[in-house]
A and B are shown apart, each in its own frame.
Chain A
Amino acid sequence: MITEEDVDLLLNDLLELYGYDFTHYSRASLKRRINRLLALDKFPSFAELRYQIRSDAHYLKRFVEELTVNVTEMFRDPLFYKSLRTTVLPTLTSKPFIRIWHAGCSTGEEVFSMAILLKEVNLLQKTLLYATDLNPEVLETARKGIFALGPMKQYSENYILSGGTADFSTYYTAQYGHVKFRNDLAEKMVFSTHNLVSDRSFNEFDLILCRNVLIYFDKDLQQRVLSLFDESLGPLGYLALGAKETLNFSSLKPMFRQLEGEKIWRKIG
């Protein structure tokens, strides 16, 4: 097991040598992931892991990929998607053009879920879906729209619970243990690296989704990122967070109104 000082050393290295700033990430989770990587890659000591990171840019890629959590699923928290479908998207129909930002989209399962929703309410053709993550590797997966076949049964159940009425399997073709989602779903997606810690706002959006990303940040960084979202939302825009995340502790709270029982806030100020 590594010490707090070890974590400090590594985080300093990442910042000074490579410009990755993890210093305001939740410590307990970071420490666990570093320990996990020590075991996975069979490093005999912390010093050897540190040396590898300092001297091998190729390994750095793997390290950052494993340090950040890339677990996601389609239609995660189906009732959340139901609210998007029935409450949020109908208020956007009169807009000539819709911009949505998935911040920290990981491998893109939620971006494809959103594209399916938009398709079903006939809004996809006038929407742009910006999907960003700090990790270029996961974006490559997202761009391809190819996912493992295994969880599709679960995703199909989530889809139905979210209010979907089509046959979920019409949205993809299955081959060799993987599925490829239809090209027309991906046409309106723009994938790009964006680091919530260091990068600025890049557009004005009607809806920002950032689900289960803030839990990995400390309170200071959460506040900074929420301000970034505030700057990036148009009037009456929506912010959607993960099931256990909130902006109640943020100075932004008075400018937003929370939708009844949901982790969705509308900008009113």
Chain B
Amino acid sequence: MAENRLTHPCEAIVMGGSTGSIEVLLSVLPQLPDPLSFALIIVLHRKNTADSTLANLLSLKTTIPLREVDDKDVVRPGTIYLAPADYHLLIEQDRTFSLDDSEKVNFSRPSIDVTFESAADVYGSSLVGILLSGANADGSAGLRAIKKAGGLLVVQQPETAQVGFMPQQAILNTAVDYILTVPQLIDFIKSLNLTH
């Protein structure tokens, strides 16, 4: 797997989570190197409110530019993107985001599966998918798509997650590459960064 990474540098990380994953992000984000050599795209299950409190909260934790995605934003390395509430987040072949307000998937909009599958289609083996704490099975199908496209899969160690169900489902249903604690996850993401 390590060789895999060297021959295919990471172009983007997609990270998904539900219950208990905001706490993980609050630990991870302050530790990430700035500049990042890849785009970090975050999909969190959240309440259906149109405000951007969460983006504001997360951006306080990092010097890396962090924004909630608007339709047709360009995906740039060195930026952290947050899927907006109540929209699915997809990525186009030309590395722009598009939004979609179609039916909920896994009772969720945004759905982690939707973003992961779309990112797998675009980034192939230069994609890393990370699945965090959560109480439903969203993300497993997305991780399978990333694997099929040659990307790397990482899940939070279920025992260390506030709710272990989501990473557990992924481990049961997919050949994940790494099962990591939060400190290990931080080191792993740092190791993907080409500028450090």
Contacts and interface: CB of A to CB of B under 8 A. Distances in A.
Interface of A: 1, 4, 26-29, 31-33, 69, 71, 77, 79, 212, 214-216, 219, 222, 242-246, 249
Contact of B71 (A4, A31, A77, A245): A245
B138 interface: no
B87 interface: yes
Contacts of B121: 1, 28, 31
Contacts of B71: 214-215, 244-246
B92 A26 contact: yes
Nearest to A78: B50
Nearest to A70: B102
B75 to A, nearest CB: 12
Chain A CB within 10 Å — which of B70, B92, B99, B101 has the most? B101
A222 to B, nearest CB: 8
Given A244-B71, A246-B70, A215 B101 contact: yes
Interface string B80-108: 00001011001111000011111100000
B117 A29 contact: no
B144 to A, nearest CB: 11
A249 B72 CA distance: 10
Contacts of A222: 72
Nearest to A222: B72
Chain A CB within 10 Å — which of B50, B93, B103 has the most? B50
Given A219-B72, A244-B87, A71 B92 contact: no
Contacts of A219: 72
B51 to A, nearest CB: 9
B70 A26 contact: no
A195 to B, nearest CB: 19
5 contacts: A26-B100, A77-B50, A214-B71, A215-B71, A243-B84
Contacts, number: 63
A244 B99 contact: yes
Contacts of B92: 26-28
Given A29-B98, A32-B118, A245-B71, 10 more contacts: A26-B92, A26-B98, A28-B100, A28-B121, A29-B102, A32-B90, A69-B100, A215-B99, A244-B84, A246-B70
Contacts of B122: 28
Contacts of B161: none
What 8 A-B pairs have minimum CB-CB distances, sorted nearest first? A28-B90, A26-B98, A69-B102, A215-B99, A29-B100, A215-B71, A212-B101, A28-B118
B131 interface: no
Contacts of A31: 121
A197 to B, nearest CB: 17
B194 to A, nearest CB: 27
Contacts of A212: 101
B154 interface: no
A93 to B, nearest CB: 28
A180 to B, nearest CB: 24
Contact of A69 (B50, B72, B101): B101
Contacts of A33: 102
A71 B103 contact: yes
B114 interface: yes
B93 A4 contact: yes
A219 B86 CA distance: 22
A28 B99 contact: no
B101 A79 contact: no
A102 B65 CA distance: 37
Contacts of B100: 26, 28-29, 32, 69, 215-216
A244 B70 contact: yes
A4 B93 CA distance: 10
B2 to A, nearest CB: 28
Nearest to A79: B50
Nearest to A245: B71
A4 to B, nearest CB: 7
A245 to B, nearest CB: 6
Contact of B91 (A28, A215, A216, A245): A28
A58 B90 CA distance: 30
B61 to A, nearest CB: 23
Nearest to A154: B48
